[in-house]
Amino acid sequence: MALRRLKVQESRLSRFRLNKLIYAVPFLIIWIGGSATAYDNQVTNNLLRTRDALLDQKTHLQTAADQIGSKIDTLQRQLDTVNQYLNDTDKALRDVEIAIDRTR
């Protein structure tokens, strides 16, 4: 299930890169060709759409990062608990081995 989520996130990142390229190409073509007055509004509109798309993407990525961070925190707490159980078990095992040695 986590692998599927990772694939979905990779797919979204690929779409983000493609969207970025789609917006960047027209902007670069207009910019390289020179700035004519007739294109000023078109360039401005393209830039505004690019900015809006990037802000949306940033919001999405921040939400995904927050969710992943929360999962990592939960897993870290579980790992800490299991490691404490392992330490307790090692101590109990040493105590039992010492007791066994004393009875011989």
Kindly report, residue by residue over 36-62, the tens digit of the pLDDT. 555 678 888 999 999 999 999 999 999
Question: To which H or E segment does residue 35 belong?
Answer: none
Does 1 have pLDDT greater than 60? no
pTM of the predicted model as reported, rounded to 2 decimal places: 0.53
> Tell me, what's the pLDDT at 10?
62
Is there a contact between 95 and 40 (Cβ–Cβ < 8 Å)? no
Per-residue pLDDT reduced to its tens digit, 61-84: 999 999 999 999 999 999 999 999
Residue numbers of the domain that contains 87 = 2-103
**Could you give the angle at which helices 2-32 and 37-103 cross, rounded to 10 degrees?**
150
Please count the structural domains in the chain.
Answer: 1
